[in-house]
Amino acid sequence: MSALAVEAITSRHGLLTAVHGVSLTIEPGEVLAVVGANGAGKTTLFRTIAGLHRPAEGAVFLGGIDITDVPAYGRPHLGLSMVPEGRRLFTNMTVRENIQIACEQTGRSRKTFGAVLDALPVVRTLLGKPAGGLSGGQRQAVAIARALVTAPRVLLLDEVSLGLSPAAIDTVYETLAALKLGGEAAMVVVEQDLDRAMGFCDRLVCMLEGKIVLEGKPKDLTREEVSQAYFGLHKGSNAHA
């Protein structure tokens, strides 16, 4: 059974259709990268999966259960967690409180909290600090810890490297690689850096104007193919609309 299945999702912003009938499946333990230019519909797709945006059509299944009508706040309880674009930490709270709130709201134990800190030692050193005073890389690490503490079966990471220094991006991806090796949780990563995405994921989809125009394993795709799909130049685009 797939960890996450998106079936013919269409999402609109008023009259604008941002996602056109997109279908996707992610297997347990798999890492899927979603790439595409600005306005391709990646973030709207993520927001729809996370429950922040109600789809006009289609359905979302988590572990075979239809969660389309489950509100956003109910999805972390079921094992779907998201690190949003821009991290969006609670800047008026400490790092500990940022993680604690996700832990207690989803009913996870202090043991889970400890396990996440073991997996992300850098976060342990920041616990007492106000989240508003962290660097971009530190914020991303805390945001990932905050998502992990809910013990997700599927982890959505939107624009992982956006606004981070190259060194911070390396650190974040090293952390994600360690998590990837460590469990059954599936990851879906939105990434604008094609090389980074192709080097990290098990499978890649490229979106253009709300549709999937290319899908495949990185070893079966060339950088040029992905790049052409990214900019809408891919002649044999197999859109999954």
Partner 1 sequence: MLEAIVQGVLLGGYYAVIAAGLSLMLGVVRFINLAHGDLAVLGAYLALAAIAFLGLPVWWAFALVLPVMAGIGWGLQRFLFARTLEGGFLLPLLATFGLGAVLQNGMQGIFGSETRSLANYMGNLSWAGWQLPFGLYVGVLPVLTFAAAVIVLGGLQVMLSFTKIGRAMRATSTDPEAAELQGVDARRVQRVATAIAFMLAGLAGMFLAMRAQVTPYAGPAQLIFAFQAVIIGGIGSLWGTLIGGIALGVAQSLGASISAQWFQLAGHFLFFVVLAIRMSSAGPTRERVLVWFDRIADALRLRTRGERKHAD
Q: Where along the sequence are the contacts to partner 1 (CB under 8 A)?
A: 50-52, 71-74, 76-77, 81-82, 84, 88-94, 97, 100-102, 104-106, 130-133, 146, 150
- Nearest-approach distance from CB 62 to partner 1, in angstroms: 14
Those residues whose C-beta lies under 8 Å from the C-beta of residue 181, and which sit 6 or more positions away, are: none
Q: Which is nearer to partner 1, 64 or 128 (CB)?
A: 128
Q: How far is CA 219 from the centre of its chain?
A: 22
- Nearest-approach distance from CB 103 to partner 1, in angstroms: 9
Q: Which is nearer to partner 1, 36 or 84 (CB)?
A: 84
- Nearest-approach distance from CB 158 to partner 1, in angstroms: 10
Give which of 234, 235, 236, 194 is closest to 218, Cα–Cα: 194
- Nearest-approach distance from CB 129 to partner 1, in angstroms: 9
Q: Which is nearer to partner 1, 132 or 182 (CB)?
A: 132
Q: Which is nearer to partner 1, 21 or 76 (CB)?
A: 76
- Nearest-approach distance from CB 209 to partner 1, in angstroms: 25
Q: Which is nearer to partner 1, 32 or 89 (CB)?
A: 89
For the range 85-89, what are the long-range contacts, defined as Cβ-Cβ under 8 Å and sequence gap of 24 or more? 85/43, 85/158, 85/159, 85/162, 85/190, 86/159, 86/162, 86/163, 87/136, 87/139, 87/140, 87/142, 87/143, 88/143, 89/131, 89/132, 89/134, 89/139, 89/142, 89/143, 89/146
Pairwise CA distance, residues 78 & 83, whole Å: 16
- Nearest-approach distance from CB 143 to partner 1, in angstroms: 9
Those residues whose C-beta lies under 8 Å from the C-beta of residue 210, and which sit 6 or more positions away, are: 17, 18, 19, 20, 22, 40, 41, 44
Q: Which is nearer to partner 1, 46 or 230 (CB)?
A: 46
